[in-house]
Structure 1
Amino acid sequence: MHVVVVGAGIIGATIAWNLRARGAEVTVIAEGPGAASTATFGWVNASFYLDDDHFRLRTAGIDAWHRLEAQSGLGLVDWCGCLSWEEQGAEMAATAERLNGLAYETRALSRADWTRMEPALADLPDEALYMPQEGATEGADSAAALLANAGVPQVIGTPVRRIVEEGGRVTGVETDQGIFHADHVVLAAGSGTSALLGDFGVLLPMVPRPGLMMRTAPVERVLSHILVTPGQEIRQDAQGRIVASTVANHQEDQTERIIERPDTVARLTLQRMAPMFPTVELALERVTLANRPMPGDEKPVIGPVGPEGLTVAVMHSGVTLGAIVGELVATEITGGNVASELLAPWRADRLLS
């Protein structure tokens, strides 16, 4: 079986890796590296979720990342844990009770407890929650590493113009440079997915969700965990850069249009963060704007759609869900048994018109 995966971001890469592991021939075709994966905060977690089904999928996603690391031999995720004080008082206690009630380990820490965990920080609250099972990954780097590890050929800079179909079955994809034949096509093209479905009269609603992510120039190691603050989420990458969203709670951010200059927003974020890091001087290195792939009801869309042989996989957050979606989609395509209880809520027919 030859499968063409449209999209080279984290979702496309995990699907391609799992397809190769199951013996399929795979080609990845994309206009460029996954835009959302290059601008992601990279937080692997299940402490944020939309409903019970979403929580189960996200916790399965954490487990799947551990399996993917073991199977590939790659160190993809920094399992550093998360410290959160976005909420305080009764709201924080209620969150801890809710998550622990779901068997999702969440510890309440005093200032003395967690100051020992992050001694370089200042301007700290009196209490925080600790989720030790959470981690972070560099979306674009992990995608590239997985594709290289699996030996998947990539055709980059060649946008797919349409899905080729004959007699009700997909037979490949068309680019400006010609047709790539395939037995199956996976659309993991993020916010560009809807346009490729239009030829079949399939309208997949997407909502605009632009996001800004900033990175500082590298500094000495001052942060050991992911931080979820009332202002924004923050972490430090392996090169020493402080990585932060420019809005509070970016996973629930409803912004549909960014009209401010990205560098202006990023510098305001730096000013807001600076009191936390008294031992280093933070300087802006890069700010990235990308559209997060967000289906109309803000939930993942995964599975067969349109003609036979076409699968779609579009969602936010692809980082948390990438490993489990790769497993499930590849297993379904190659004819194996799938965990139907995990995939059932995310089928495309709930949104298609």
Structure 2
Amino acid sequence: MGKTVLVVGAGIVGASVAWHLAKAGCKVTVVDTGDGGGLATRHSFAWINANWGNPEFYFHFRRRSMAGWRRLEREVPDVSVNWCGGLTWDISAEDFDTFEAEHTRWGYGMRRVDSAGAQRIEPGLKTPPDRALFVAEEGMVEPVEAARAMLAATAAAGGTLLTGTRIAALSARDGKVTGAVTADGDTILADETVIAAGTATQGMLETIGVRLGMITSPGLIMHSTVASQRLLNGMVFAPQCNVRQTREGRLIAGSDFAGADPKGEEDRMARELLARIKALVRGAEDLDVGFVTVGHRPTPADGFPAIGRPPGVEGLYVTVMHSGVTLAPIVGELAAREIVEGLRDPDLAPYDPGRPELG
């Protein structure tokens, strides 16, 4: 019998960790305050990429996870990525050439297109840009569906999902985490406890005296009413309006891919985004605001993921990051390997939860 592992959080990262652990033979229990699918996950733009000016080490880590999504599609029923590509011109004129050259040097499949090329990629654009960058290997996913597919695969492998259950505190003895206590006072014992709780991570760790510096900035995403036809082939990143079309047919958009802070003016921001979409996309004229989501990005203080064991504590593993949708496959794979086999992948070195920047 493998290790008994408690995974706190059933968003896309927690679901991936749980699936990889169950696949490795662990007895997995997943606890989630909601109904599975997480909070940050359902508020995500859900763009799978290695784009947007990351340092080289982080670029390659994200690229490795993009390959992991293709593996997950083969392994897990109902995980389906739309590898539609992304068309970007939300880059200043002075940065455009440098950005393109850097990513091309690193091996990203980035291709410059002119106005005619952009129109061929996205025929629905009313006014295509004079120049843009297209990356065919980028994809988008419906994140809650993907998380729930991995949770279903975990259950099929013998795992347990406890929904509507809030963890009040971690439990520890003699420097080792032994599980957690729910808000109802029930104790869940485990050989290993994985925290994949997004913005709740910091408070949960503080119940056992562990410090992990985080920032949790809000981001608004506007979801339109359902369009009667396909208006976009893939993802479009235009200045002040990043937009894609969901499988259901809604256009979802933020002023950047993560969404901006609405500062209490959700309706105004949503209307502005809708107006930009109507000016950008042919056929969007009859759409209205369907609903708005405001998510809080669970980001470690220096902007990079925290993946691994906090120093001085046994039986505890942390997985917290922005860009959880892109990184879910690689985080699940490498976390499970470290927990089960004790092998830490060298690519995880920059993401140690004990690094000074998070103290």
TM-score for both structures, normalised by structure 2: 0.92
Equivalent residue letter for 2:116 = A
- Asked if residue 147 in structure 1 is aligned to residue 151 in structure 2, the reply is yes
RMSD of aligned residue pairs (Cα, Å)? 1.6
Equivalent residue letter for 2:350 = P
Shift of 1:125: 1.2
Q: Which runs of 5+ in 1 are unaligned?
A: none
Shift of 1:67: 1.2
Shift of 1:349: 0.9
Whole-angstrom CA distance in 2 between matches of 1:248 and 1:138: 18
**1:194 paired residue number:** 202
Whole-angstrom CA distance in 1 between matches of 2:251 and 2:207: 43
**1:166 paired residue number:** 173
Whole-angstrom CA distance in 2 between matches of 1:145 and 1:182: 24
Q: Could you list the per-position Cα deviations for residues 105-145 of structure 1 after superposition, in whole angstroms to 9, with x for gaps in the alignment? A: 11001111221222122022111111011001122221111
Higher mean Cα deviation, 93-102 or 184-193? Answer: 93-102
Q: Could you list the per-position Cα deviations for residues 160-200 of structure 1 after superposition, in whole angstroms to 9, with x for gaps in the alignment? A: 01111122222111002300111100000001001111133
**1:230 paired residue number:** 239
**1:72 paired residue number:** 76
Q: Could you list the per-position Cα deviations for residues 311-345 of structure 1 after superposition, in whole angstroms to 9, with x for gaps in the alignment? A: 000001100111100000011000153422x1011
Shift of 1:259: 2.2
Matches within 5 A, 1:2-13: 2-13=4-15
Equivalences, count: 347
**2:21 paired residue number:** 19
- Asked if residue 282 in structure 1 is aligned to residue 287 in structure 2, the reply is yes
Whole-angstrom CA distance in 2 between matches of 1:104 and 1:52: 11
Name the SS for the 2:17 alignment partner. helix
- Asked if residue 270 in structure 1 is aligned to residue 274 in structure 2, the reply is yes
Q: Which runs of 5+ in 2 are unaligned?
A: none
Matches within 5 A, 1:1-353: 1-32=3-34, 33-87=37-91, 89-151=93-155, 152-177=159-184, 178-219=186-227, 220-245=229-254, 247-248=255-256, 250=258, 255=261, 258-280=262-284, 281-305=286-310, 306-335=312-341, 337-340=343-346, 342-350=347-355, 351-353=357-359
Equivalent residue letter for 1:25 = K
Whole-angstrom CA distance in 2 between matches of 1:180 and 1:260: 39
Shift of 1:293: 0.3
Percent identity between the aligned chains? 36
Shift of 1:90: 4.9
TM-score for both structures, normalised by structure 1: 0.94
Whole-angstrom CA distance in 2 between matches of 1:300 and 1:150: 24
CA contact (8 A) 2:179 2:189 kept: yes
Whole-angstrom CA distance in 2 between matches of 1:75 and 1:140: 10
Q: Could you list the per-position Cα deviations for residues 28-68 of structure 1 after superposition, in whole angstroms to 9, with x for gaps in the alignment? A: 11212411001000000001243122112111110111111
